Chain A
Amino acid sequence: MTVEESLIKVRKRQLHPAIQQALVTALVLTLSALAALAAKILIGPVAAALIFVLGITIAGALGGVIAALGASFVAFLFYNFFLTDPAFSFRLASSRDIAPLIIFNLCGLVAGVLAGRLKDHAKAARRSNLQLENLLELSRTLQAAVRQQDVVMAVAKAAYHIVGAKISIYRQTSDGLNPLDAPPHDPDRHALAERTLAADSPTREEDGRMSRCLKGSEGNLGVMIVEMSHSDKLDPTFVDALGNMIALALERATFSETIAESRASARAEELKTALLSSVSHDFRTPLTAISASASSLITYRDQLDASTSAGLLRSIVEECERLNRYTANLLEMSRLEAGGGLAGLQTLSVAEMVGAAIKRIRPRAGNRPIQRCGETDALVNANAALFELVLLNVLDNAIRYSTDGSSIIVTIDHVQDHCVVTIADEGIGIPPGDLERVFTRFHRVSRAEAAPRGSGLGLAIAKGFVEAVGGTIEARVPGVGNAGTQIVISLPAIPEDGQ
């Protein structure tokens, strides 16, 4: 059951306030009439009259001015009928009896009205207090609203609490007015919103619906429509206050959405630049080797001995294979990029991704055992193919820079609201001075000449990806035991309850 439904139910269970009031007044009068009858028999008519005045005052205090007036009229009839002589008749025994009757009546009336007005004021004060409190509460909620949908949710909830009204918000966009929440489409309401916007009116009322333009700093943001669930009138100043607050919150939410969007596209652009410049480097090196080899074979065919020529030919084949590998990588990347950089974000299980990457890299791992440590899992928002590429790059480094038979350990942890993937190896490690620079494009740690070489790109792409989704990546030493490296990738985790 939604909040809205339960609210409706509560309202239905309550009786209409006017009927409730009448019942209370009748009860008070009946009790005071019984007491007055008893007092007349036991004490005398004066006490009976005073008890009636008391009854009217109480009815007024409980029910307000209208209840007091009604009570004093009924009491007048009752007093005349039962308590004055002759009893059980509206006639008066003598003209002398008129004076006490009128005085009694006036006393009852004045006391009742005064008590009633007091009650009415207290009620009004309490109601406006409640409205104020609810408005304050709403404004606090709206402050925290980051997205336009949050604004709508907060307003809908508050509207029920405050006035029992249903509020719809229409947002003006380039393709016309659109409802921000998703209620059943109501052509009438939509037409009213259109009319309100066209008239550019502050607050107008039509068939029990109040509508109002939501003014932002740069013109109308949209239209708010308030529908009452019962016939109570809404204070127009209250509707204005509500409208201003919603407009402000909507505008702020729109701004923060725009900022988030432009940040995302800037990140995508950065990643694209990183990929492009890596492509130019990775392709030119094998191309240079191929071009130099082939042109040497043409130019110096006679000067080169057989083994040199064979070596040059072999290097051409090898470099072609390398180019082919780069191309495959590149295709995968551009496939990701096609969606606009990080458009392909989806909820991913980190444990699944790690498992898949380990499975894919295992054929290249030789005799290095790759162990998963623990059963922890977490959900992150990321681009699946790019995330896998990053894990592969890091695992590939762990393999490339370690000896056969050494172990590689992958751990998944929760640290506060982040998921931390640690990939540790037992390899040659990274000098402390290079720990940060390994993430720079084309940076490769200085090695003995026989050491294997990567493209100097894997970790740069990893950093680009991780930072694009709002995470961090760092290299630490040692990895396993006292040797090697660990790469620590921290990504914002999606809370388990799915919020």
Chain B
Amino acid sequence: MTHILLIDDEPSLVAVLEPVLGAAGYRVTTAGDGASAIWRAGAEQPDIILLDLGLPDIDGKDVIRNIRVTSRAPIIVISARHQEGEKVAALDEGADDYVNKPFEIGELMARIRAALRRSSSLLHQPPAYSGGPLHIDFGERRVTVGGEAVRLSPKEHDLLVALALSAGQVVTHKRLLAVGWGPEGADSQYLRVYIGLLRQKIEEDSADPRLILTEPGVGYRLVTPEGTGEA
């Protein structure tokens, strides 16, 4: 049974999420502050961690950094703060994804599933990605949309693969820039241009993208067919 560690200091939210996640088939343990969260993450080795950023004792980013010392479990950040800076900082510290408050339960579940899928795919990389009309053969570097082959430049292909390997999860500008332009990174303007080109090739209507969604100020997210996340 998949084990979720829920770290939240709002009793009212814990009171809702704990039984619902339980009913959805997860085993749930909870922590109400950063210190006990860090300890539990190390001692209990949960499969996935939900972390509310506004903890009373320790700053959310420090909690993530400390958890990452002992655990590689995916971390999904729950944040009431809509400041992009906070989210990007959390993702840079090692969080895998985030949901904004308030969220619907379906959105949270989709994020959890995407995170679990990715963490299992880290162990044995799948030979291909398939989601909706989009199919990517990683070995042969072949991309088809609705069965039709799409010709991508090497950089476009690398970006799409990076998004697909984290399908359903947000991928930050910083990570995508590193994939396309090396660790030195580049102007995020380049990234915007290449994502635009990619959308023209794989989206039905590049002005109304359905596959590669923009997470304003944070990064991009490749939509998985089972849960668009925002739906």
Using a CB–CB cutoff of 8 Å, the interface residues on chain A facing chain B are 280-281, 284-293, 295-296, 299-300, 303-305, 308, 311-312, 315, 318-319, 322, 442-447, 449, 453, 456
A318 to B11, CA, bound (A): 12
Residues of the B chain whose Cβ atoms lie less than 8 Å from the Cβ of A446: 33, 35, 56-57
A449 to B33, CA, bound (A): 8
Question: Of the candidates A284, A300, A442, which one forms a contact with B105 in the assembled complex, judged by CB atoms under 8 Å apart?
Answer: A300
Q: Are B57 and A291 in contact (CB under 8 A)?
A: no
Q: Are A281 and B54 in contact (CB under 8 A)?
A: yes
**Is B108 engaged at the interface, CB distance under 8 Å to the other chain?**
yes
Residues of the B chain whose Cβ atoms lie less than 8 Å from the Cβ of A289: 10, 12-13, 15-16
Q: Are A442 and B54 in contact (CB under 8 A)?
A: yes
Q: Are A319 and B12 in contact (CB under 8 A)?
A: yes
A456 to B52, CA, bound (A): 15
Determine how close the nearest CB of chain B comes to the CB of A38; give it in whole angstroms.
Answer: 109
Question: Of the candidates B9, B57, B82, B103, which one forms a contact with A292 in the assembled complex, judged by CB atoms under 8 Å apart?
Answer: B103
A188 to B16, CA, bound (A): 79
**Is B43 engaged at the interface, CB distance under 8 Å to the other chain?**
no
Q: Are B103 and A291 in contact (CB under 8 A)?
A: yes
A335 to B106, CA, bound (A): 38
What are the interface flags for B103-137 relative to A under an 8 Å C-beta threshold, 1 for contact and 0 otherwise? 11110110000000000000000000000000000
**Is B186 engaged at the interface, CB distance under 8 Å to the other chain?**
no
**Is B32 engaged at the interface, CB distance under 8 Å to the other chain?**
yes
Using a CB–CB cutoff of 8 Å, the interface residues on chain B facing chain A are 9-13, 15-17, 19-20, 23-24, 32-33, 35, 54, 56-57, 78, 80-82, 101-106, 108-109
Determine how close the nearest CB of chain B comes to the CB of A94; give it in whole angstroms.
Answer: 121
Question: Of the candidates B20, B57, B82, B103, which one forms a contact with A288 in the assembled complex, judged by CB atoms under 8 Å apart?
Answer: B103
Question: Of the candidates B15, B20, B78, which one forms a contact with A304 in the assembled complex, judged by CB atoms under 8 Å apart?
Answer: B20
Q: Are B104 and A291 in contact (CB under 8 A)?
A: yes
Determine how close the nearest CB of chain A comes to the CB of B2; give it in whole angstroms.
Answer: 15
Between A and B, how many residue pairs show CB distances below 8 Å?
92
Which 6 residue pairs are nearest across A and B when measured between Cβ atoms? Answer: A446-B57, A288-B102, A295-B104, A287-B102, A288-B101, A291-B102
Residues of the A chain whose Cβ atoms lie less than 8 Å from the Cβ of B82: 280
A296 to B108, CA, bound (A): 11
A303 to B22, CA, bound (A): 10
A191 to B211, CA, bound (A): 77
A300 to B109, CA, bound (A): 11
Q: Are B19 and A308 in contact (CB under 8 A)?
A: yes
Q: Are A285 and B12 in contact (CB under 8 A)?
A: yes
Q: Are B101 and A285 in contact (CB under 8 A)?
A: yes
Return 8 A-B CB contacts under 8 Å, by A number.
A281-B81, A285-B101, A292-B104, A293-B20, A296-B105, A300-B20, A308-B19, A308-B20
A13 to B101, CA, bound (A): 84
Determine how close the nearest CB of chain B comes to the CB of A119; give it in whole angstroms.
Answer: 84
Instruction: Name, among A281, A286, A296, A304, the residue most crowded by chain B CB atoms within 10 Å (CB to CB).
Output: A296
Residues of the A chain whose Cβ atoms lie less than 8 Å from the Cβ of B54: 281, 442
Residues of the A chain whose Cβ atoms lie less than 8 Å from the Cβ of B15: 289, 311, 315
Q: Are B108 and A292 in contact (CB under 8 A)?
A: yes
Residues of the B chain whose Cβ atoms lie less than 8 Å from the Cβ of A284: 80, 101-102
Q: Are B20 and A315 in contact (CB under 8 A)?
A: no
Q: Are A287 and B20 in contact (CB under 8 A)?
A: no
Residues of the A chain whose Cβ atoms lie less than 8 Å from the Cβ of B24: 300, 303
Knowing A280-B82, A308-B23, A446-B35 touch, does A295 contact B105 (C-beta < 8 A)? yes
A281 to B13, CA, bound (A): 14
Residues of the B chain whose Cβ atoms lie less than 8 Å from the Cβ of A447: 56
Determine how close the nearest CB of chain A comes to the CB of B98; give it in whole angstroms.
Answer: 13
A354 to B108, CA, bound (A): 46
A381 to B32, CA, bound (A): 42
Q: Are A304 and B23 in contact (CB under 8 A)?
A: yes
Determine how close the nearest CB of chain B comes to the CB of A258; give it in whole angstroms.
Answer: 34
Residues of the A chain whose Cβ atoms lie less than 8 Å from the Cβ of B32: 449
Least CB separation from B54: chain A residue: A442
A280 to B86, CA, bound (A): 15
Determine how close the nearest CB of chain A comes to the CB of B172; give it in whole angstroms.
Answer: 23
Residues of the B chain whose Cβ atoms lie less than 8 Å from the Cβ of A299: 105-106, 109
Instruction: Name, among B78, B80, B103, the residue most crowded by chain A CB atoms within 10 Å (CB to CB).
Output: B80
Residues of the A chain whose Cβ atoms lie less than 8 Å from the Cβ of B106: 295, 299
Q: Are B105 and A292 in contact (CB under 8 A)?
A: yes
A449 to B13, CA, bound (A): 13
Residues of the A chain whose Cβ atoms lie less than 8 Å from the Cβ of B17: 292
Knowing A300-B24, A303-B24, A304-B23 touch, does A292 contact B16 (C-beta < 8 A)? yes
Residues of the A chain whose Cβ atoms lie less than 8 Å from the Cβ of B11: 449, 453
Residues of the B chain whose Cβ atoms lie less than 8 Å from the Cβ of A295: 104-106
Determine how close the nearest CB of chain B comes to the CB of A324; give it in whole angstroms.
Answer: 14
Residues of the A chain whose Cβ atoms lie less than 8 Å from the Cβ of B35: 446
A144 to B9, CA, bound (A): 55
A295 to B23, CA, bound (A): 13
Q: Are B12 and A281 in contact (CB under 8 A)?
A: no
A308 to B21, CA, bound (A): 11
Residues of the B chain whose Cβ atoms lie less than 8 Å from the Cβ of A280: 80, 82
Residues of the A chain whose Cβ atoms lie less than 8 Å from the Cβ of B19: 304, 308, 311-312
Knowing A285-B13, A318-B12, A453-B11 touch, does A296 contact B20 (C-beta < 8 A)? yes
A437 to B108, CA, bound (A): 32
A138 to B80, CA, bound (A): 60
Determine how close the nearest CB of chain A comes to the CB of B61; give it in whole angstroms.
Answer: 15
Determine how close the nearest CB of chain B comes to the CB of A439; give it in whole angstroms.
Answer: 14
A305 to B106, CA, bound (A): 19
A368 to B57, CA, bound (A): 29
A449 to B19, CA, bound (A): 17
A167 to B16, CA, bound (A): 76
Knowing A308-B19, A446-B33 touch, does A287 contact B12 (C-beta < 8 A)? no
Least CB separation from B58: chain A residue: A446
Residues of the A chain whose Cβ atoms lie less than 8 Å from the Cβ of B56: 443-447, 456
A453 to B81, CA, bound (A): 19
A289 to B24, CA, bound (A): 17
A292 to B17, CA, bound (A): 7
Determine how close the nearest CB of chain A comes to the CB of B229; give it in whole angstroms.
Answer: 13
A278 to B9, CA, bound (A): 17
